[in-house]
Amino acid sequence: MRAKAVCAILAVCSAGLPAAPALATPQPVKAAVLRSQGTYFLGMTIWRELNSGWSQFGETPVQIDYTSLAGYNWTVEDIAATGADVLIFSVPGWLHHTDDEINAIIQYVEAGHGLIITYGNFRSEDRALAPLVGLSTSISLGTGTAADPIQIDPLVPDHPVFAGLRGPYVSGVRFNATAYPHSWVLDGGTVLANLFTAVLPPRPGIIANDAGTYRGLYFSYYVEDKDGGANLQDMQVFYNALVWAGTPEPATAALLLSGSLALLSRRRRWFV
């Protein structure tokens, strides 16, 4: 009888307590890949891995659309139809783009969206996009393959792009860009991380431009090159980049927390 009475009292007391609210799933960050190597050679990129396995890297879903803008002569209206929070230009120098297409990108980004450019050399029409990712339009880059593993050394380790990562980390890719003639010219950008190898001296590896109304990122290495060896750490930093470039400022703290907790609990084995 006494045990039943205690259970009844506990039931009454607990009935008056509010239930803990369920944590809402964050809105997904939508990305669209512009016509580039990233739409021509899908098997070489990490788009599908991030679409299906984003929960390995954080709490914010990411959705990467690599088909809608794979064609030619798209307009700002075509870009807007994708609903993209952030645009991806994956090795853009591999293909030429019209002035109208470049202007459409500029209009869309400056209206309040993100832009990520990877392994571009800014030697054609895409030069006009350089300021969006913090580089000067006067920059000229060459591209090559490192003989030794590339390492990425964060200079701003508490930046959300490095959530859950410990630097320097060893990338799985070898393709990287070098300033020609040996000078990196910034325009509003901040070097978040340096790239170096056993024989190559440090040079910018990740550059960010937080313009307030939009965010841009430039990767001087082919971070999304799955065919070339992109590893889980490369995927993590690219996931972080998508969320940072495509999410308003209030989400920054959530990204840091979710990314750090997820990696501490699930992937300690990444780092040696």
pLDDT in tens, 112-127: 999 999 999 898 889 9
pLDDT, position 262: 41
Residues 126-148: pLDDT tens digits?
Answer: 999 999 999 999 998 988 899 99
Residues in the chain: 272
**Residue 32 DSSP SS3:** strand
pLDDT, position 32: 98
What distance in Å separates the CA atoms of residue 185 and residue 270, rounded to the nearest whole number? 34
Beta strands in the chain (DSSP E): 29-33, 62-65, 86-90, 114-118, 141-145, 151-154, 169-170, 175-179, 190-196, 203-210, 215-219
Six token digits for residue 67: 């088909």
Q: Are strands 29-33 and 86-90 parallel, antiparallel or unpaired?
A: parallel
Mean predicted confidence (pLDDT) in 194-204: 94
What distance in Å separates the CA atoms of residue 38 and residue 41, rounded to the nearest whole number? 6
pTM exceeds 0.85 for this model = no
Domains located in the chain, CATH noted: 26-264 (3.40.50.880)
Which residues touch 165 (CB under 8 Å, ≥6 apart)? Answer: 154, 233, 236, 237, 240, 263
Mean predicted confidence (pLDDT) in 166-193: 91
